[in-house]
């Protein structure tokens, strides 16, 4: 059941239908966005382009495959032929670009894939869309939404004001540096070619369909398996948690209401220290999960070697989005976390196959 009851600004009856390409639609946020869009705009044509890397999962879209308004294409955003063909064949008027390598720890181990997909792939997509948009006569209503991260702004001290849209870019990890590069390209395509780009920078998302390598699912799954809960460093790092459906409703506002060329920050107003979040997860698991191998789950918490270059604090100021487009996050971290934990408890068939031999190898290399 949806936690976000706020209605989108554009009811289907009042808007012309769109033909939207969603890249990375088999990933965490992308698949949530696909579901959100199908639900709110059932008259739209929805095309997903996803390479199905380790992070992409067809099962996250299983209920949509076969629907007449939905198409899934397995393909690489770095493949300009594939992108050109798809844009033309489907007469795409809107791109929502989520495809990326997204995990900081993997970017430390092997940054090359991050530069390839996040920088070169975003460039390929922007340039294909430029040609396509031009071939279509540059319609005013076309949009290219580039989804990015607050990590491009670097790290905050405890008393620094939250990141706003004018905060200088200071990316610290190969992941955030590659996303910063892609943001600059998206901005340049607006300023140079007048292409109708939009950029959003959001804080840490959480919710259903989140790959097990990320903090929240990793802790929940480890508790179920009685494995230790690896908290990096002193656990005092702060993240601003955004429930994924709130993120989707913000992107909806930006796509429908923003002027072209704008950037919006999206945050959950939920700043939490890692150790406090892990403790909340342990408490929820103690309450909701039967037959835990170790109870209380908090006994599994283990402080481990810190992540190299670990950013201390992220916090988002989304005043611009709130005042200009009327968006508010509606899910508190307590509500969203409960819903998320319940989802993982009810859906082992989704996450168990992801704990593959390849994933175990990755896990060993980070947590050895």
Q: Which residues bind ligand TYD (CB under 6 A)?
A: 104, 204, 214-215, 218, 230-232, 237, 239, 274, 307
- Report the partner that residue 51 touches, choosing among ligand TYD, ligand NAD, none (CB closer than 5 to 8 A by kind): ligand NAD
Alpha carbons 296 and 130: distance in angstroms, whole number: 55
Q: How many beta carbons lie within 10 A of that of residue 12, not counting itself? A: 13
To ligand TYD, the closest distance from the beta carbon of 307 in angstroms equals 6
Contact pick of 147, 280, 285, 341 for ligand NAD (by CB under 6 A) = 147
Residue 304 phi/psi, 5° resolution? -120, 170
**Which of 213, 203, 221 has the alpha carbon at shortest distance from 340?**
221
Q: At its nearest, how many Å lie between ligand TYD and the CB of residue 274? A: 5
User: In angstroms, what is the C-alpha Rg of the chain?
Assistant: 20
What distance in Å separates the CA atoms of residue 194 and residue 260, rounded to the nearest whole number? Answer: 9
* 223 near ligand NAD, rule: CB under 6 A: no
DSSP assignment string, 296-312: SGGGGEEEEPPPTT---
Choose, by CB under 6 A, the member of 21, 34, 51, 278 that binds ligand NAD: 51
Instruction: Identify the active-site residue in 50, 76, 150, 252.
Output: 150
Q: How far apart are CA 216 and CA 221, in angstroms?
A: 9
Smallest gap from residue 364 Cβ to ligand NAD (A) = 20
- The per-residue b/e assignment along 161-193, b for 16 or more CB within 10 angstroms, e otherwise, is ebbebebeeebbbbbbbbbbbbbebbeebbeee
Decide whether 8 or 56 has the Cβ nearer to ligand NAD: 56
CB of 128 to ligand TYD, least distance (A): 28
Q: Which does 104 bind (CB under 5 to 8 A by kind): ligand NAD, ligand TYD, none?
A: ligand TYD
DSSP at 258: P
By C-beta, is 199 or 231 nearer to ligand TYD? 231
**Contact mark string toward ligand NAD, 288..327, x via CB under 6 A:** ----------------------------------------
Mark residue 53 as left, alpha or beta (left: phi above 0; alpha: psi -120 to 50; beta: remaining): beta
Cβ atoms 260, 95 nearer than 8 A? no
Residue closer to ligand NAD (CB basis): 76 or 262: 76
Q: Which of 50, 183, 246, 252 binds ligand NAD (CB under 6 A)?
A: 50
Binding residue (CB under 6 A) for ligand NAD from 82, 99, 248, 255: 99
List the single partner that 218 binds among ligand TYD, ligand NAD, none, CB under 5 to 8 Å by kind. Answer: ligand TYD
From the list 36, 41, 175, 264, the catalytic residue is 175
CA nearest 205: which of 63, 93, 337?
337
> Is 151 in the active site?
yes
> d(Cα 51, Cα 232) in Å, to the nearest integer?
31
- Cβ-proximal residue to ligand NAD, closest one: 27
Q: Say whether residue 171 binds ligand NAD (CB under 6 A).
A: no
> Can you name the residues that pair with 46 across neighbouring β-strands?
20, 70
Write down the least CB distance from residue 279 to ligand TYD, Å: 12
Beta-strand pair 271-273/238-240? antiparallel
Strand partners of residue 198: 145
Q: Rounded to the nearest 5°, which phi and psi values hold at 8?
A: -65, 155
Query: What are the catalytic residues?
Result: 150-151, 175
Which parts of this chain interact with ligand NAD (CB under 6 A)? Answer: 23-24, 26-30, 50-53, 55-56, 76-78, 98-102, 117, 121, 147-149, 179, 202, 204-205, 211
């Amino acid at each position: 059941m949806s936690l976000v009851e706020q209605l989108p600004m554009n009811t289907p009856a009042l808007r012309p239908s769109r033909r939207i390409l969603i890249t990375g639609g088999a990933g965490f946020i992308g698949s949530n966005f696909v579901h959100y869009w199908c639900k709110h705009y059932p008259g739209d044509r929805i095309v997903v382009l996803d390479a199905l890397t380790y992070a992409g999962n067809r099962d996250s879209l299983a209920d949509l495959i076969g629907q007449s308004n939905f198409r899934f294409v397995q393909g690489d955003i770095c493949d300009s032929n594939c992108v050109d063909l798809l844009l033309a064949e489907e007469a795409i008027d809107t791109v929502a670009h989520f495809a990326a390598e997204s995990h900081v720890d993997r970017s430390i181990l092997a940054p090359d894939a991050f530069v390839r997909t996040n920088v070169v792939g975003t460039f390929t997509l922007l340039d294909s869309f430029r040609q396509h948009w031009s071939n279509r006569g540059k319609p005013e209503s076309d949009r290219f939404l580039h989804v990015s991260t607050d990590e491009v702004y670097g790290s905050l001290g405890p008393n620094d004001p939250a990141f706003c849209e004018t905060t200088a870019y200071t990316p610290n990890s190969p992941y955030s540096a590659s996303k910063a590069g892609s943001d600059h390209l998206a901005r340049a395509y607006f300023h140079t070619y007048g292409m109708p780009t939009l950029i959003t920078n959001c804080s840490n998302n959480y919710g259903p369909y989140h790959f097990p390598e990320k903090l929240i699912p990793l802790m929940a799954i480890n508790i179920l398996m009685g494995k230790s809960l690896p908290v990096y460093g002193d656990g005092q790092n702060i993240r601003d948690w955004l429930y994924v459906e709130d993120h989707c409703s913000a992107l909806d506002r930006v796509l429908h209401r923003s002027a072209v060329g704008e950037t919006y920050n999206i945050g959950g107003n939920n700043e939490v220290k890692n150790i406090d979040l892990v403790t909340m997860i342990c408490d929820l698991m103690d309450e909701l999960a039967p037959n835990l191998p170790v109870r209380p789950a908090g006994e599994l918490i283990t402080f481990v070697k810190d992540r190299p270059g670990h950013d201390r604090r992220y916090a988002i100021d989304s005043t611009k989005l709130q005042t200009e487009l009327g968006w508010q996050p509606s899910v508190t971290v307590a509500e969203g976390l409960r819903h998320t934990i319940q989802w993982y408890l009810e859906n082992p068939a989704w996450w168990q196959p992801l704990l593959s031999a390849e994933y175990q190898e990755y896990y060993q290399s980070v947590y050895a």
